Amino acid sequence: RPVAGLLEYNEAVQTVMCGGDTAPLRLIQNKLIVSERMGSVPPETPMVPLQKDLERLQKELKLRAQAEESTLKLDLRKAQHLQRSHLLHRLNLLRIPWGTTQKVRGKRGTFHEVWKLRWQPDFAVSIIEASLWGNTVHDAAANFAIDQAHKADDLPTLTTLLDQIILAELPEVILQVMQKVEETAATSSDIPLMMDALLPLAQVLRYGNVRQTDTAMIRHVVDGLLTRICVGLPSTCTSLNDKAAQDMAKRITAVHGVVNKIETATHKQAWQETLHTLADQKNIHGMLAGKATRLLLDSGGASAAQIAQRMRLALSGVKGSSAAKLLSNPQTLKFAASWLDGFLEGSALLILHDATLWQILDEWVSHLPAGTFEPILPLLRRTFSRYSEAERRQITEQVRYGFTHQNDRPEQQFDQQQAEAVLPFVAQLLGLEATS
């Protein structure tokens, strides 16, 4: 070739400037060769109407399309910030993820949003593809959402879509999607699907004050779903295997959170009754019975004495039984371990500060026959491994010294003379006069 190319120039730079080492050149390759600056085209360049509308909105809302990642903090009580949020959510709905929402830290309320923004060059192609749905960002997002709602045939997909539509501020679409949600919910008998659909709807209820959304119809659907879940959940929880029980325990915890958030006395009472039914039900997986008992304790649906009685009953099949008897009936051992797994999942503070529950658990482990301790050990280890290192350390100390460790631990000798010698210095630091 008559002229050196990029490959030859790179080899020359590597040899002369880097001493033959490839690492420095790789370190700056993106900025030196690829670059992170966004190119531009003249305003008179032909483009699809959707692209023109997007660029207009970017200028109005002062949002620059940059290749570098940046953080955008929004206060939705401000008009311009709310419009920025609508634009980013509409683009996400159109599969143009310019921004991704981040967890808000140190802020209370639903009017804060944090976004990570990064414009990708291939978004230009995505915009051309999305122009099929409309000439403006608003119209394209609305038409695309309607199409997705017609294609959806299950509740979780519809409720997730409804959440996205409300965040994108597309009121003309909400009514159509809500009608589809109501129709699907009325004909559905799948309790797990209803539970999966409930969480997005409950999140939608939180936007009423900030986003001026009419939530009356949504609350009507939430009320209907909760009623049907409370009625059908006990029969759904029978004869589940370990994997299905784990999934159902997560759903029960999620629904419990929803009931606490919507703060409706009728639903709280119905949900408490459902938890009592699950905790006492026969032919139910031990993890679900333990989880229901724990939620009753956390929400005040049962007294500590009632919880302790349930714990004794759940573990009574193992305590006092011989190793041969337990090994011949492993379901008893498995139920007790699974019950503990569901009950103790979460914070260890429950057993660290409740003397009655600690005593029941301590007696149960202490009375396990030698031949059954090893089979149950992996299940117990899995339960306690979820706790933090500090919580496990506290449990170890409590096992070593007993629950009333303040009285049982060895007393440390107190040196009166050394303490009196320090008092003048302490008084001087505090600006006080030392007294004898």
Say which residue the tokens 């990570």 belong to. 116
Per-residue pLDDT of 45-56, as tens digits, reads: 678 899 999 999
Q: Is the pLDDT of residue 406 over 70?
A: no
Q: Is the pLDDT of residue 300 over 90?
A: no
DSSP class of 105: -
Q: Which two tokens stand for residue 135?
A: 């000439």
Lowest mean pLDDT among 20-34, 203-217, 270-284: 203-217
367-394 mean pLDDT: 76
- Cβ–Cβ < 8 Å for 351, 357: yes
158: closest CA among 134, 171, 176? Answer: 176
Distance of alpha carbon 238 from alpha carbon 232, whole angstroms? 11
177, amino acid identity: V
Distance of alpha carbon 120 from alpha carbon 99, whole angstroms? 11
The reported pLDDT for the residue numbered 364 is 73
Residue 427: CB partners within 8 Å, gap ≥ 6?
A: 433, 434
Q: With cut-offs at 50, 70 and 90, classify the pLDDT of residue 327.
A: very low
- Cβ–Cβ < 8 Å for 131, 103: no
Residues present in the chain in total? 436
The reported pLDDT for the residue numbered 35 is 66
Query: What rounded mean pLDDT belongs to the chain?
Result: 81
Q: With cut-offs at 50, 70 and 90, classify the pLDDT of residue 410.
A: very low
The reported pLDDT for the residue numbered 85 is 93
36-60 mean pLDDT: 80
Per-residue pLDDT of 121-149, as tens digits, reads: 889 899 999 999 999 999 999 999 999 99
In angstroms, how far is the first alpha carbon of the chain from the final one?
Answer: 97
Residue 184: CB partners within 8 Å, gap ≥ 6?
A: 153, 154, 155, 158
The reported pLDDT for the residue numbered 272 is 93
Cα angle vertex 72, ends 67, 76, to 5°? 145
Q: Is the pLDDT of residue 407 over 70?
A: no
- Cβ–Cβ < 8 Å for 288, 342: yes
For residue 288, count other CB atoms closer than 10 A to its CB.
26
348-357 mean pLDDT: 75
Per-residue pLDDT of 156-186, as tens digits, reads: 888 889 889 988 988 888 888 888 888 888 7
Q: At what angle do helices 304-315 and 286-299 cross, to 10 degrees?
A: 170
For residue 103, count other CB atoms closer than 10 A to its CB.
5
Quote the distance between the C-alpha of residue 106 and its chain's center. Answer: 17
Distance of alpha carbon 259 from alpha carbon 137, whole angstroms? 36
What is the DSSP secondary-structure string of 193-213? HHHHHHHHHHHHHTTHHHHT-
Q: 376 phi and psi, to 5 degrees?
A: -90, -15
The reported pLDDT for the residue numbered 5 is 83
95, amino acid identity: R
Lowest mean pLDDT among 206-210, 262-266, 343-347, 353-357: 206-210
397-416 mean pLDDT: 61
More reliable by pLDDT, 377 or 214: 377
